[in-house]
Amino acid sequence: MGSSTYRICVCFTRKFKVAEVQPPTDVKEAFKKYAQGGTHMNADQLRRFLVEEQGEAEATLGDAEAIVQQILQKRHHISKFTRHTLTLDDFFHFLFNADLNPPMHSKVHHDMTAPLSHYFIFTGHNSYLTGNQLTSDCSDVPIIKALKKGVRVIELDIWPNSSKDDVHVLHGRTVTTPVELIKCLKSIKEHAFSTSPYPLVITLEDHLPANLQAKVAQMLTETFGEVLFCPSSECLKEFPSPEELKYRIIISTKPPKEYLESKSLNDKQNSQKEKDSGEDVWGEEPSKTAADEEEDDKIDNGRGDCNQDDKDEDDEDSDEKPHHAPVYKSLIAIHAGKPKGGLVEALRVEPDKVRRLSLSEQALEKAAESHGMDVVRFTQKNILRVYPKGTRFNSSNYNPLIGWMHGAQMVAFNMQGYGRSLWLMQGMFRANGGCGYVKKPDFLMKIGPNGQVFYPKENQPVKKTLKVKVYMGDGWHLDFKQTHFDLYSPPDFYTRVGIAGMPADAIMKKTKKKEDNWTPIWEEEFTFPLTVPELALLRIEVHEYDMSEKDDFAGQICLPVSELRPGIHAIPLCDHKGEKYNSVRLLMRFEFV
Question: Annotated catalytic sites, by residue?
Answer: 125, 171
CB distance 384 to 405 below 8 Å: no
Q: What are phi and psi of 192, to 5 degrees?
A: -50, -40
SS (H, E, C) 373-436: HHHHHHHHHCEEEEECCCCCCCCCCCCCHHHHHCCCCEEEECCCCCCHHHHHHHHHCCCHHHCC
Measured distance CA(141)–CA(128) in Å, rounded: 7
CA atoms within 13 A on the CB side of 554: 32
Reported as type and span, the H/E element at residue 552 is strand 552-560
CB distance 506 to 532 below 8 Å: no
The helix/strand/coil state of 275 is helix
Reported as type and span, the H/E element at residue 25 is helix 25-34
Q: Which residues contact 576 (CB under 8 A, 6 or more apart)?
A: 418, 419, 553, 556
Q: Which residues contact 106 (CB under 8 A, 6 or more apart)?
A: 433, 434
Measured distance CA(560)–CA(562) in Å, rounded: 5
Query: Alpha helices, DSSP H only, in 277-313?
Result: 290-300
Q: Name residue 527's beta-bridge partners.
A: 467
Burial 521-543 (b: 16+ CB within 10 A, else e): bbebebebbbbbbbbbbbbbbbb
Reported as type and span, the H/E element at residue 61 is helix 61-76
CA atoms within 13 A on the CB side of 219: 20
From the number of C-beta atoms within 10 Å of its C-beta (0-12, 13-18, 19+), residue 322 rates as exposed
Q: Name residue 444's beta-bridge partners.
A: none
